[in-house]
Amino acid sequence: MQERLDTQTIRAHLLVAGRVQGVLYRASTRDKARSLGLRGWVRNLPDGRVEIIAQGRVDDVQALITWAHNGPPLARVNNVDIGWEEPQPESGFGVR
């Protein structure tokens, strides 16, 4: 029997551009990801973007992607590039 899509584990690689550094974007992302039960991490990149790796159930990862497009109130998100990766054995969600 085939597993339902909403229970599959997927891994997304997001690159978020805009005014997302210095406005607690990483901490807000970590808190949102943890509330969704996701694994992975978030970090600032030297070019001003924020990189997010999120792994979990399809619906939960999609909820984080939707949230990332809006971000916390002080962030001004210009663009979110999304790539898909193979799921990896990880635990928790952290800030790097």
**Would you name the residues annotated as active-site residues?**
26, 44
Q: Partners of 60 in the beta sheet?
A: none
Question: How far, in Å, CA of 94 to CA of 96, rounded?
Answer: 6
User: Cα dist. 62→12, 13, 21, 38, 48 in Å?
Assistant: 9, 12, 22, 11, 23
43: nearest Cα among 68, 62, 65, 15 = 15
